[in-house]
A and B are shown apart, each in its own frame.
Chain A
Amino acid sequence: MIRDITLGQYYPVDSVLHRMDPRTKLFGTMVFIISLFFAGSLAAYGVATVFLIFVIRLSRVPFGFMVRGLKAILFLLLISVSFNLFLTPGTEVFRLGFLKITWEGLRLAGFMALRLIYLVIGSTVMTLTTTPNQLTDGMERSLGFLKRVRVPVHEISMMMSIALRFIPILVEETDKIMKAQMARGADFESGNLIQKAKNMVPLLVPLFISAFRRATDLAMAMEARCYHGGDGRTKMKPLQYERRDYVGYLVCAGYLAAVVLLG
């Protein structure tokens, strides 16, 4: 039912991309996102497409998984495309009543759609090839310099990894409670909006209670193992750059330069 959420779902295969340091992948994703905002010509989008396909092939994750995340932004995509399509002034191509489509509109809508789709696919590639723990590890290390200005980097990244870790658990829990209430005749599908919201109570109350219970259990388990925050804490697997990471940085930098040059 709610299993379509791909963001934050790791796909376990062995590939260069999977083995890469999370910092490199974070950097790469950032570069890719930035590049999409620089790209304004077909040539630049062409380079972005080639890069994306190259990375997807490298990840060895089936293409179907990449596109799954698009479902979530379908609505947003439709709105932004139609706004751009109909509301951009310029040379007219087609007219239907008060709606008119212009060359500029077509161009803008097309680029906007591509940009959104690539944005989602690009970040999905990262989350599919990086476990949530690696990801927050990478962030903690990359943002370590902020500690000097008293930003609690470790605490934030710990909170993030716990939150990410709990998403699948809560999804599963929701599924279970939903089924249990359906076994008692609950109906989550029919009815109007207010009726539907009311029908959610038997699902949400147990879900919240279980989330709080899990949270206290986890806090207890962490304290029992002497967790006391980030100071002086060592890692079992410290992040370390390998040759593939340097290659990765080079490829990303080269790609960014190409897109910026092509405009």
Chain B
Amino acid sequence: MSIRADHLCHLYGEGTAFEQYALKDVSFEIGDGEFVGLIGHTGSGKSTLIQHLNGLLQASSGKIYYNGEDIDGDGYDRRNLRSRVGLVFQYPEHQLFEVDVLSDVCFGPKNQGLSREEAEVRAREALTLVGLEERFWDKSPFELSGGQKRRVAIAGVLAMQPEVLILDEPTAGLDPRGRDEILDEIAALHKDRGMTIVLVSHSMEDIARYADRILVMNHGEKRFDGPPREVFAHYRELEEMGLAAPQITYVVHKLREHGISIPEDITTVEEARDAILELLRPERAKASGRQTWGKAGSGE
């Protein structure tokens, strides 16, 4: 199971004065069970890219293969592809339309040809997965809070039981708690169900914490592709693209500038904590013979 993009190009407004490359020669392969973070500045082509992955947009040139099959090929069942590659758009709560939450979540499974009963089983399962309490299930989706609506919308895609889940900024506009909860649920889907996840996000912290691989897009081109520590090591280039590394990376680099030998490829606060504690162990502090350690230690 994999998604492979092969020299993908997408041209907007072909043949007009507005002609513009949204994607330029993008190639990559996403394997089964990966958790990929997709980052890039606004207008870098992220959203265009993910819409190619489930066949909503067609490439101007280049190909996409899902499990080795060309999705633009003749007779390829694109509707079937869309139920296998689930895509949650930005602000997905804007697509809710049914009279109650459960019916809305049933929309996807029913389009897959399931009966109302089967669809409801799937819907209940999906709503439980996103952690929406049962007492909300027969309410109108428009009565819910922003975070709850977002969950309903994500459940609407999960109920189709996709093999790959792509989320475009699933936490935009949520408060920190709602954000953490949703991200933890996504991480759980990855861990417990082995679902392949592609997460588009602006938050480097979130990406660093959850993704095992990062794709960086800039002006429609793929700039970096690798594990977080490798990608964030290029933090100066990232800054030039209007992006940044997680804040802890900057702290680590500052510490190194002051002569403290902390590993430079740290990307999460937890890693940094462990590394600092390691350095602060009394026997090591004595061995290195530096006085500054004691002061830093009292701060910890």
Contact = CB atoms under 8 A, between A and B. Distances in A.
B79 interface: yes
Interface string A58-92: 00001011000000000000000000000000000
A185 B97 contact: no
Interface string A176-206: 1101111111110000000000000110011
B94 A183 contact: no
A209 B95 CA distance: 10
A210 interface: yes
A201 B99 CA distance: 12
Interface in A200-231: 201-202, 205-206, 209-210
Interface string B1-35: 00000000000000111000000000000000000
A183 B86 contact: yes
A13 interface: yes
B147 interface: no
A185 B111 contact: yes
A202 B86 contact: no
A12 B15 CA distance: 15
Contacts of B246: none
Contacts of A210: 94
Contacts of A38: none
Contacts of B87: 183
B111 A186 contact: yes
A51 interface: no
Interface in A166-182: 176-177, 179-182
Contacts of A103: none
Contacts of B97: 201-202, 205-206
Given A176-B89, A202-B97, A206-B97, A183 B157 contact: yes
Nearest to B112: A185
B160 A179 contact: no
Contact of B111 (A64, A65, A184, A206): A184
Contacts of B157: 183-184
Interface range for B: 20 to 34
B243 to A, nearest CB: 24
Contacts of A201: 97
A209 B142 CA distance: 10
A186 B160 CA distance: 12
B112 A180 contact: no
A11 interface: yes
Contacts of B54: 183
A184 B84 CA distance: 10
B111 A13 contact: no
A176 B15 CA distance: 23
B51 A179 contact: yes
Q: How large is the interface on A (under 10, 10 to 19, 20 to 34, 35 or more residues)?
A: 20 to 34
Contacts of A186: 107, 111
A11 B17 contact: yes
A180 B89 contact: yes
A204 B92 CA distance: 15
Interface string A1-45: 000000000011100000000000000000000000000000000
B82 A182 contact: yes
B156 interface: yes
A138 to B, nearest CB: 24
A184 to B, nearest CB: 4
Contacts of B16: 62, 64-65
A183 B87 CA distance: 6
B96 interface: yes
A185 B95 contact: no
A176 B95 CA distance: 9
A184 B96 CA distance: 11
Interface string B133-145: 0000000001000
21 contacts: A62-B17, A176-B94, A177-B94, A179-B51, A180-B89, A180-B95, A182-B56, A182-B82, A183-B82, A183-B157, A184-B95, A184-B156, A185-B79, A185-B111, A186-B111, A187-B111, A201-B97, A202-B97, A202-B107, A206-B95, A209-B94
Interface of B: 15-17, 51, 54, 56, 79, 82-83, 86-89, 92, 94-97, 107-108, 111-112, 142, 156-157, 160
Closest 6 A/B residue pairs (Cβ): A185-B111, A205-B97, A184-B108, A180-B95, A183-B87, A180-B89
Interface of A: 11-13, 62, 64-65, 176-177, 179-187, 201-202, 205-206, 209-210
Given A62-B16, A64-B16, 7 more contacts: A12-B17, A64-B15, A181-B107, A183-B157, A184-B157, A201-B97, A206-B95
